[in-house]
């Protein structure tokens, strides 16, 4: 997921003049040749090294964060989310630090936002699911993840949803995780839906079809404004390569959306752009803290320096964690900043597409 940036190093070539000396040779009448004094040339000053890139000085974000103890009882979790939502806190992500599972909530301290949460029914059919999320969208509730919706009572909005057979997975196979041979059809679907103002927010698995095929549906959200354009790039390898790709796309107004894989193991990175805007996005990858408290401190520190949380638990392409009989990629956190931007893709958090795994 990453593209190395190579620097050209200027090399100063120093030329040295050879001093020549001679002596008159043996014959009579020869004139002695006096040695000529040669002043050594002064080498040019060494070229200054390229400056080390410095992070831009960004205005602090008016964000506060808190940790909510994970409640496995959905009734208690919903009550806890709504209690905090009434204070202006929004559910962002749910990091799992070994046995310390928490929910991270964020609040814009300069806003008057109030958040209301509802959970969708369990085990819904495809038709019932679509009916529920559209009924919720008509009341101003946005799909937060496949089982929850949220409404900001300080904002007047509506949302509509459509489902399309997923081309991100191979529905025709009995293995729901069997990746497709090509993602070109999926990209075409994204852009066709995006041109109509529909933004991809993830996929939902329903009960298998009568013939045994898995039923995986892509979910598209329409908020009545904007048109979206998607690009698909090869997944970069090293972290530095991925950051270079993220920032190159961000400079063109494309926001990272999610990762998908081909059957041959090749990964693809998908980016989305609001065609009505020309924003800029910048990204940073940092080590993931060891526990929830350290994560909370990191979130607050980065917010104070203008960097908003974007993705948790990104699998590093450079660093690994090793141990007796085990090997895994090191977990990282991605932070982001946006400029010249408004709307759903430009928020300070990655909440615009929690369903879209990376």
Joined together, the tokens standing for residue 203 give 């996929």
User: At 51, is the pLDDT very low, low, confident or very high (cuts 50, 70, 90)?
Assistant: low
pLDDT reported for residue 32: 38
pLDDT reported for residue 127: 96
pLDDT in tens, 136-170: 999 999 998 768 999 999 989 999 999 999 888 76
Answer whether residue 188 shows pLDDT above 50. yes
Q: Are 295 and 288 in contact (CB under 8 A)?
A: yes
User: At 353, is the pLDDT very low, low, confident or very high (cuts 50, 70, 90)?
Assistant: very low
pLDDT in tens, 23-50: 333 333 333 334 444 455 555 665 665 5
User: At 54, is the pLDDT very low, low, confident or very high (cuts 50, 70, 90)?
Assistant: low
Domain locations along the chain: 63-353
Q: Which of 18-22, 252-256, 320-324 has the least mean pLDDT?
A: 18-22
How many Cβ atoms are within 10 Å of 84's Cβ, its own excluded?
Answer: 19
**Distant-in-sequence, close-in-space partners of 245: CB < 8 Å, separation ≥ 6:** 1, 2, 3, 233, 236, 269
pLDDT (mean) for 64-89: 93
Q: Which of 89-93, 254-258, 354-358 has the least mean pLDDT?
A: 354-358
Cα 45 to Cα 227: distance, rounded to the nearest angstrom: 55
């Amino acid at each position: 997921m990453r593209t190395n940036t190579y620097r050209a190093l200027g090399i100063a070539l120093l030329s040295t003049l050879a001093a020549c000396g001679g002596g008159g040779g043996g014959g009579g009448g020869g004139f002695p040749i006096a040695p000529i004094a040669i002043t050594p040339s002064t080498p040019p000053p060494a070229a200054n090294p390229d400056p080390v890139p410095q992070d831009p000085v960004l205005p602090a974000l008016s964000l506060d964060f808190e940790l909510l103890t994970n409640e496995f009882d959905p009734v208690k979790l919903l009550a806890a989310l709504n209690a905090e939502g009434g204070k202006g806190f929004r559910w962002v992500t749910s990091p799992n630090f070994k046995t310390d599972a928490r929910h991270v909530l964020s609040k814009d301290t300069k806003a008057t936002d109030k958040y209301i949460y509802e959970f969708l029914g369990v085990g819904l059919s495809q038709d019932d699911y679509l009916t529920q999320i559209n009924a919720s969208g008509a009341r101003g509730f946005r799909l937060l993840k496949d089982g929850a919706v949220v409404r900001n009572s300080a904002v007047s909005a509506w949302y509509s949803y459509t489902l399309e057979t997923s081309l991100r997975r191979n529905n025709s196979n009995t293995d729901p995780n069997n990746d497709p041979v090509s993602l070109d059809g999926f990209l075409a679907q994204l852009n066709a839906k995006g041109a109509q103002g529909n933004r991809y927010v993830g996929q939902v698995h329903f009960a298998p079809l009568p013939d045994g095929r898995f039923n995986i549906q892509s979910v598209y959200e329409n908020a009545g404004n904007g048109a979206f354009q998607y690009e698909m790039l090869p997944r970069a390898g090293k972290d530095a390569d991925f950051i270079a790709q993220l920032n190159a796309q961000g400079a063109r107004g494309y926001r990272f959306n999610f990762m998908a894989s081909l059957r041959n193991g090749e990964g693809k990175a998908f980016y989305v752009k609001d065609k009505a805007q020309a924003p800029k996005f910048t990204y940073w990858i940092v080590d993931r803290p060891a526990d929830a408290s350290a994560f909370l401190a990191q979130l607050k520190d980065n917010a104070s320096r203008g960097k908003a949380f974007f993705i948790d638990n990104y699998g590093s392409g450079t660093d690994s964690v090793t141990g007796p009989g085990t090997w895994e990629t090191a977990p990282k956190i991605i932070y982001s900043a946006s400029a010249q931007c408004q709307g759903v893709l430009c928020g300070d958090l990655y909440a615009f597409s929690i369903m879209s795994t990376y």
